[in-house]
Structure 1
Amino acid sequence: MAHSDPELAGEGGQGELAAYRLRRERELSSLYATARSLTVLGEVDEVLPSIVRAAHELIGSDFVYLSLRDASGALALSASAGTISSEFSSARMPAGAGLGGWVIESRAPVWVSDYRHADGFHRDPVFDRLVSDEGLVALLGVPLLVGDRVIGVLFAADRTERPFEKDEVALLSAFADHAAIALNNARLYDESRVALQRLQDAYRVIEDQVTTMERAAAVHEALTHVVLTGGGPDDIAQSLVDHLEGVVTIRDRDDEIVATRSSGAASAGEDPHLEQELLAQARRTGRCVHGEGADGTVLSVAAIQAGGSHLGSLSLRRRAVTESADVRMLERSAQITGLLALLRDARVEAEERVRGELLMELLSHPPLQPVHPALRDRALARGVDVDRLDVLVTADCPDRSAADIVRELHGASAELSGLAGEYLGRATMLLRADDAEAAVRTLHQRLRRRLGTPVLVVADRITGHDRAHSFTLAVRCLDVMRSLGETDRGATTRRYAMYGLVFDLRRAQELEGFVTDSLGPLLDYDRRRSTDLVSTVAAYFAHSGNLGRAAHALHVHPNTLLKRLDRITALLGTGWRSADSALRLHLAVRLHQLRALLDGPG
């Protein structure tokens, strides 16, 4: 049985009413935040996946998908959120068929608690088979309306039989209204962008017929347009190729190619040695320099610089001699490319700064207090659910600053819907991971590869939202690892649980009691007499009881070592070298040494 207007369950007592109102407030707040985030997206390819992701988080169903109508009126799946097969992702529903056909015809929400046994609409055998294979049972469809026109249907599906409550239907319908507007705006934006590109192409054809000075003015105008419209290196390279012909290559500060365009009028042969030599000259002089390659082509290179910082290079290879007007075009293009790079870096830095601030607020937030709604909304606007961040990671590398590590963590955090930043001088990240061991190994490999040097990475599973405690555990465990001689590893605090007494401050009293019970007489004796019996025991165990090697390590005569061992026996008793006593004493000495390394001799 299909439904187009489900009834809200009867109200209970005052407690149920208050809970209902609170849930509605949260849903409306989430609806407002997600709808607002859709308005900042420009292209259809960005809006479609954002709509289904936001709807998936908003409704909480197993699967959400969006189908758009084509010219024939059929519905084609355009975006989805949730696990589906490749066959379902290419599903297409004929016009008027299925639940979607009913939604389009009625221009109203329609749901079924069990699609397999529902009636009242025209079925499509192919689609029914796909639904059965995917295990979809309960389906809800709401129309995407632009004016009086239905442009598509937004579906929510569950793999268990259930009714959809009135509030769920209303919430998804309200979201669909916002999504339809955002999608229509994105289509208009794409159409305007295509029209603008066509105008630019037509303009370039005319420019080919003007004089050199007029061509230079056109290049300048095109570059200005790139800046004003938020273009990038590809647009700049294409503008230069359109007016100068040849092969244009733009490289970043790491000498990696970010854009290359060819008019087909010049050879694409490369001469890395010549290009590096010309780039060095360009960086010294600040001007465009030229050289002839072995194949007879002329290579012109301009450095991309800003405020003394090297941001990359722009090169033009072609058969023709580079004229003075063309040189000015290249130099101006290099300046524009540098400006775009700075603008891009500023945007990235601003976003990283916001994410870092969110991280700091979460780590300094009291664990027993709920997260402020404003902070939650700021995180959700960036695709981060703070309640699902259950793993804390910190990394350390002596050859790189914390800022360098954080820069790499930011790239990973965006992919993992997490947060990264510098907290108390440490490169730190919050993320969601079902398998913390696998996550920390993946992050370690990524940092190792991107930084090009050994790095230590430690992860801790957050319990009770006490993120600050997890940070302390991870940092102290990292220091323990380095004290143990580790230099290049990714691990969780659980892997080093045997040293938990050292790096878990909550167990400091246990550690103090264990060390005092085991080493108390030696520690007291060393303090009173300024001796070093504890170090003597450590050296004795470190060299497996070999007196010669232990004496050499302590820089004392073997007879002196024997006298110290006699003193230790007098203080601890004759059984201190037995198997059980030696194991306990050896562990106490090791923990005492690690504590001294972490906390200092005090």
Structure 2
Amino acid sequence: MAGTDPGSGSAAGDGELASYRLRRERELNSLYTTARSLTALGEVDEVLRSIVRHAHELIGCDFAYLSLLDAEGCLSVRASAGTISPEFSSARLPPGAGVGGRVIETAAPFWVSNYQEAQGLPHDPAFDLLVPSEGLMALLGVPLMVGDRAIGALFAADRTERPFEKDEVALFSAFAGHAAVALNNARLYEESRVSVQRLTEAYRTIEDQVATMERAAAVHEALTHAVLTGGGPGDIAHLLVEHLQGTVTVQDRDDHVLAIRFPRGSTEDDGQNPPRDLREEARSTGRCVSARGQDGAFHSVVAVRAGGGHYGLLSLTRRAAPEPADVRMLERSAQIIGLLILTRDARVEAEERVRGELLTELMSGSDLHPAQRDRALARGVDVDHLNVLVVADCPEKAAGDIVRQLKPLTAEWSGIAGEYLGRATVLLCADDADEAARTLHHALRRTLGVPALVVAERIAGQERSRAFTLTQRCIQVMRALGVTDRGASTRQYSMYALVFDPGRAHDLDRFLTDSLGTLLDYDDRRSTDLVATASAYFTNSGNLSRTARSLHVHLNTLLKRLDRITALLGEDWRSPDSALRLHLALRLHELKTVVDGSPRAGGAPS
């Protein structure tokens, strides 16, 4: 195996790393700026136009466009930037067709370097007729996700054939995540405005008695105030109790009570749960249903819905039968509660994304803006004291699912959790990295219910990126060693540091060259398998019969290979000291092959 100049290699590597970090910093700054500008928009059409314009500039493609799913499951182009064909700006793809169909089905990015020649991709004839006029060649699509549901796709296209790099796909996907939140918030804003407008119009059409009109106006004002001030179900229930003079209960989708309010002079006995069949009817019809219970009280129930989802029930219990105006008040209030719940969920999702962005900024190694530091402190995170990095890995669970379980666990260490380069990653402040890894592993194992690896590394200065590399490579080494369920620090696997520490790669290469270089070179030149033969020999404790069986060769063939190894390494290669060194080199070579993903040395057996 040929040697390398450590000095020149290190200098070149440092230069490439510095260039890569500078480029990533510019991309992240651009992503942060564009995402922040999207949050300032309100109208849906304005948000759509801004998304494609920023996407066009961010990825540097020839043109970009955005398609949303309609009621029939088709993808319809809603906005574009850089296109030249008017027909393309109103294109429509049926379900499952093209790159968009693949993105929606998998909820993951997908790209082709040449759309017309892409193999195994269902094509739509109508769309394919538009491709030549637009000059579309290379196409990248990423999903627009709201929760775990794709509402559409964002596309970047070039008029020349080319691949899309991983960094481009990751950057475009991150932008699409922000864009989906901005678009969903705009939709919520529009739904809220329409609902309030409908509520206002409904109350304006009431031509009942003056007292009824005044009461409706008061309720409308109070509901609007609740929406604008971010009130909750309890506020709505309290408002309704004052005007309807009955017990008001708000339940979640699992019938657990979120809020219950009683009128003056009543007791908790008046808050009897509405009959089950009444609740089921309200869910199925989406309207307010009423019935008299066995206790003589009237129960009125309406489902809480918003955005096509079911969020619970709103019920009124009182002695008097509900008036039409009361029914309308309950139905409108249920709509408001649904919108408040959607808004709350959007805030939670935005908070999670802010934490994810903060984690990415910290991992990039760039200095945080003072405003970012203040936002981190407001969330209980002192970035200057984050001294331990933890990576959690579970093949049976997605990284996002692992992150959701880790987030509530980080408060004890004033830490922050998120997804970084596809890995569930945590930065925290801890005195003992081993104890932190064991504690997080125990909690994850209990909540996930499946084996998981949790590895921690103490951070030296601002070397978070290096700590991340060490932890994830250590996880690969642990899996290669057969460890699948444990919490530990990299220190506990320091004897394998030559393999998972990139900073010691030259030491490992020199050791493998000195110990195995002759066999590796011989295997490469002759297409033999002497390295694998020596490894099997030591694995089977020198037993020739077991070694031959494990290699699936005849005993005479094995003896010939061992003679050839003796000729190459010398007569003493099986002596205790030489055998120990050679066995260690073979094991490290195997682990290096697993961690680096490089092909095994050697070829067909001779």
- Give me the TM-score of the superposition, normalised by structure 1: 0.54
Matched to 1:435, the amino acid is: D
Alignment counterpart, residue 581 of structure 2, candidates 559, 584, 587: 584
- Structure 1: any 5+ residue segments left out of the alignment? 1-208
1:503 aligns with 2:500: yes
CA contact (8 A) 2:245 2:318 kept: no
Give the distance between the partners of 1:244 and 1:517, measured in 2 at CA: 89
Pick the structure with greater CA Rg.
1
Distance 2:392 2:304 in 1: 33
- 2:486 is the alignment partner of 1:489: yes
Output one character per residue of 1:224-248: Cα deviation in whole Å (capped at 9) or x when no partner. Answer: 3332332223333444556374572
* Contact in 1 for aligned 2:249/2:257 (Cα 8 Å): no
Q: CA deviation at 1:391?
A: 0.9
- Aligned position for 1:477: 474
Deviation readout 1:208-259 (Å, 9 max, x if unpaired): x99889777665554433323322233334445563745724226x876544
Q: Aligned equivalents of 2:402 and 2:523: distance in 1? A: 42
Q: CA RMSD in A?
A: 4.0
Q: Kindly indicate whether residue 273 of structure 2 is the aligned counterpart of residue 313 of structure 1.
A: no
Which sits farther off after the overlay, 354-363 or 577-586?
577-586
Q: 1:63-114 CA distances to partner (integer Å, 9 max, x unpaired)? A: xxxxxxxxxxxxxxxxxxxxxxxxxxxxxxxxxxxxxxxxxxxxxxxxxxxx
| 1:440-474 deviation line (CA, Å, top 9, x unaligned) | 22222333344444332221101122111111112
Check the 8 A contact 2:274/2:301 in 1, yes or no: no
Q: CA 1:536–1:343 in structure 2 vs 1: closer, same or farther (change >3 Å)?
A: same
Q: What is residue 596 of structure 1 aligned with on the other side?
A: 593
Separation in 2, partners of 1:447, 1:302: 39
- Contact 1:391-1:462 within 8 A present in 2 as well: yes
Partner of 1:343: 343
Q: Is the 8 A contact 1:248 1:261 kept in 2?
A: yes
Q: Does the C-alpha gap of structure 1 residues 371 and 333 become closer, same or farther in structure 2, counting only changes over 3 Å?
A: closer
In the other structure, the counterpart of 1:81 is none
Mapped pair 1:522 → 2:519: yes
Corresponding residue for 1:206?
A: none
Could you report, residue by residue, the CA deviation over 1:135-180 in whole angstroms, capped at 9, with x for unpaired residues?
xxxxxxxxxxxxxxxxxxxxxxxxxxxxxxxxxxxxxxxxxxxxxx
CA distance in 2, matches of 1:358, 1:398: 26
1:358 pairs with 2:355: no
Q: Where does residue 456 of structure 1 map in the other structure?
A: 453
Contact 1:394 1:457 in 2 (8 A): yes
Equivalent position amino acid for 1:421 in 2: G
Aligned residues of 1:251 and 1:259 also touching (Cα < 8 A): no
Contact 1:286 1:303 in 2 (8 A): yes
Q: Structure 1 CA distance, aligned partners of 2:351 and 2:282?
A: 33
Match of 1:399 in 2: 396
Q: Would the aligned equivalents of 2:246 and 2:318 in 1 still touch at CA under 8 Å?
A: no
Secondary structure of the structure 2 residue equivalent to 1:421: strand
Tell me if 1:424 matches 2:425.
Answer: no
- Give the Å deviation of 1:497: 1.2
Within 5 Å, which residues of 2 pair with 1:183-582? Answer: 220-240=220-240, 243=244, 245-246=246-247, 248-251=249-252, 258-260=258-260, 264=267, 266=269, 274=276, 286-287=286-287, 303-310=303-310, 312-314=311-313, 316=315, 328-365=328-365, 373=370, 375-414=372-411, 416-582=413-579
What amino acid does structure 1 have at the position aligned with 2:489?
A: T
Query: For residue 313 of structure 2, what is the amino acid of its counterpart?
Result: L
User: What letter corresponds to residue 439 of structure 2 in structure 1?
Assistant: T
How many Å separate the matches in 2 of 1:589 and 1:235?
69
Q: Tell me the secondary structure at the aligned position of residue 465 of structure 1.
A: coil
Distance 1:548 1:496, change over 3 A: same
In 2 relative to 1, CA 233–476 (structure 1 residues): closer, same or farther, beyond 3 Å? Answer: farther
Cα distance change on mapping 1:212 and 1:358 into 2, 3 Å: same
User: Contact 1:392 / 1:429 at 8 angstroms: preserved in 2?
Assistant: yes
CA drift of 1:509 comes to 0.6
Per-residue displacement from partner, 1:330-375 (whole Å, max 9, x unpaired)?
5434332222222222323333333332322222226xxx765454
Q: Contact conserved, 1:460 with 1:470, CA < 8 A, in 2? A: yes
Residue 592 of structure 1: how far off its partner (Å): 1.6
Query: Which whole-Å CA distance do the structure 2 matches of 1:452 and 1:429 have between them?
Result: 20
- What's 1:170 paired with? none
Q: Deviations over 1:118-143 (max 9, x none)?
A: xxxxxxxxxxxxxxxxxxxxxxxxxx
| TM-fit CA distance, 1:483 | 2.9
Offset at 1:415? 5.0
Moved more, 284-293 or 414-423: 284-293
The letter for the 2-side match of 1:434 is D
Q: Which runs of 5+ in 2 are unaligned?
A: 1-208, 600-606
Give TM-score scaled by structure 2 length.
0.54
The answer to whether the 8 Å contact 1:355/1:421 transfers is yes
